[in-house]
Chains A and B, each alone.
Chain A
């Protein structure tokens, strides 16, 4: 049951270019409009539940400089696992029920602080642990978020860092040559 709304893949390609452009503007936060244009492709989760999960994964690892696009990827990958694992599907379904039931008010109607309190109250639950464990890997393993943390990923294809600033922290003491001999450059 695919609920594809827009071509998210095409959008991601554009977003990747945006993120890459932003790396040269050091310190400038990237805020990608969360206008729904990235809508998730879901296999097993209802749109309503996906919206709750989207909120939850942002509250778990909130970075204001990351647009919802990146959190949507986390939910989409979780949905893929749910589709393949009936036990997980049940755990998540029940967990979302607990989020709504905790204070008797639908989770998405609560303020950020209240939502965080609800999550904290469920920390020990298998639902929370499953979603948290998934999110901490999925979010930070998305190559599209790396530039926004100053992490470039692979270096081999660029010849490593021997000529690209591995010793450029000029604000530190200059080590003597005994402690740190000069690099061999061939």
Chain B
């Protein structure tokens, strides 16, 4: 643990301590680089986590005011909660399910493979799978991803067994307990999974990888990390040449400070990162930092999602054990004969009784609803996660009138489904219903998307500075010493859960930043 002076302009300042920022911080520290890590949330420990859905939500979730617009159902069901992500040291790695899947090769080049799709702002990534493979490998080793590096898969729980039964009877081939960054055996000083069933509430055994108790303490052990919890970044500052010079932030008492910096890396998730760039507008950069393309905040993606829950004659007790306990990958490929481009994964999901009531059919009431709830013990469930289409008009903007406690505009999240998203969701609902029907379901419920957990694309990576915000290293096209280090750099979303790719990109970015600092390029 280090303490750096506010006027120390040799440090790298990273904003956000989740999958991207937490990993980047550790990797830079390991390379001998001094890092100030600003985190808006509190520092909790594993002991603080609670096996209680609403209490945990209040403890970990980002609850600062946000608004929504657009035709997506989240805007109607949860108008003030577009995203279910976290404000805490470790960010959303405290809450994530643990699924760690590599992109498929074509998913880095979808403009090439899918062609032009009306209304979609498709673009190829400026990197390909081969560029990321060594970093995927390193990330999987760091995170302890099952079914890689000789790590066995997790044992499947009842919810998995139901999924497996339906999938096999339906003829699906690729069905197993997934690639999960949850220890199936003790590894890297972390315990093995005890099947608590509260993955989303912060893993109380530490079996699930989170930067909170892996990357961050490892970085602190180098003596090069100055972690500042409860410190909210307000503005990134720059000099006359346009280079960034530091970050204005508010500490837990509301005191404002400027931390000088040699390099600034933004890793605040796909809502807060573009918001910070936009809120940092200046006379030199009137449209916000790194926004010469006009793409900051645009192309917001959230994955095509939805859930299917089914009830059975006999008990399932889906809440017992790993929340995301299994996967069907047969629909993850690109096969336009299904009526849409891209693919989707089916992954088991369970909710406890309190969250099931909130999410099963938001807004519903009366006996038709309570009859479903009465079958809770006999319910199995899965979550659809598929590639959605980037659209320029799906975007994070600054609210025209509403301000936060620091006087800065709050973000609005606008989203409309693309017809491809709707076609994919419908296909996935049908296939999931067929799967559970094959397993003997009594009733099957299509459940609309939850507030977004996968928030992507709002500072996208592009070959040309005209098309996106950052280059293939996550370095902004406009400002050499300003980087973006989270899922907002995704050019397109792919079908896979994003965390592994965020971590791999952060590890790759760390190599580049260290190289460029060594060469005095930044």
Chain A interface residues toward B at CB < 8 A: 59-63, 65, 116, 132, 136-137, 139-141, 145-146, 149-157, 159-162, 164-169, 171-173, 175, 178-184, 186
Contact = CB atoms under 8 A, between A and B. Distances in A.
A155 B318 CA distance: 13
B194 A162 contact: yes
A166 B320 contact: yes
Contact of B377 (A60, A136, A151): A151
B155 A167 contact: yes
Given A140-B356, A160-B194, A172-B158, 10 more contacts: A59-B366, A63-B373, A136-B357, A150-B315, A151-B352, A151-B376, A167-B321, A175-B160, A180-B161, A181-B154
Contacts of B92: none
14 contacts: A141-B354, A146-B353, A153-B51, A153-B352, A155-B320, A159-B194, A160-B205, A166-B197, A167-B156, A167-B321, A172-B439, A179-B164, A183-B155, A184-B186
Contacts of B369: 61
A38 B376 CA distance: 27
Interface string B152-168: 11111110111011001
B5 interface: no
Given A141-B54, A173-B165, A181 B155 contact: yes
A175 B164 contact: yes
Contacts of B490: none
Q: Nearest 9 CB-CB pairs, A to B?
A: A150-B377, A180-B156, A160-B194, A154-B51, A140-B357, A166-B321, A172-B161, A151-B353, A161-B320
A165 B353 contact: no
B357 to A, nearest CB: 4
Nearest to B374: A63
A59 B373 CA distance: 15
A146 B358 CA distance: 15
B315 A155 contact: no
B177 A179 contact: yes
B152 A181 contact: yes
Given A154-B51, A156-B196, A160-B194, A175 B320 contact: no
B176 interface: yes
A69 B356 CA distance: 22
Interface of B: 50-54, 152-158, 160-162, 164-165, 168-169, 175-177, 184-186, 192-198, 204-205, 312, 314-317, 319-321, 326, 352-354, 356-358, 363, 365-367, 369-370, 373-374, 376-377, 439-440
Contacts of A160: 193-197, 205, 321
Nearest to B177: A180
A162 B195 contact: yes
A179 B156 contact: yes
B373 to A, nearest CB: 7
B125 to A, nearest CB: 32
B377 A181 contact: no
A20 to B, nearest CB: 16
B196 A172 contact: no
Contact of A173 (B161, B177, B370, B376): B161
A186 B192 CA distance: 9
Contact of A175 (B51, B161, B377): B161
Contacts of A181: 152-155, 177, 184
Contacts of B321: 160-162, 166-167
Contacts of B198: 154-156
Contacts of A62: 366-367, 370
Residue of A61, A150, A164 with highest tally of chain B CB at under 10 A: A150
A136 B169 CA distance: 36
Given A150-B377, A180-B156, A172 B52 contact: no
A56 to B, nearest CB: 10
Contacts of B165: 172-173
Contact of B370 (A63, A162, A169, A178): A63
Nearest to A139: B357
A161 B156 CA distance: 12
Contacts of A139: 357
Contacts of B175: 179
Contacts of A149: 353, 373-374, 376-377
Contact of A137 (B54, B152, B158): B54
A146 B356 CA distance: 12
Given A59-B366, A61-B370, A169-B316, A137 B358 contact: yes
Contacts of B162: 169, 172
A157 B49 CA distance: 12
Nearest to B379: A150
Contacts of A153: 51-52, 352
A180 B169 CA distance: 17
A107 B186 CA distance: 60
The residue among B312, B319, B326 with the most chain A CB atoms within 10 A of its own CB is: B319
B177 A136 contact: no
B366 A116 contact: yes
Contacts of B353: 140, 145-146, 149, 151
Nearest to A140: B357
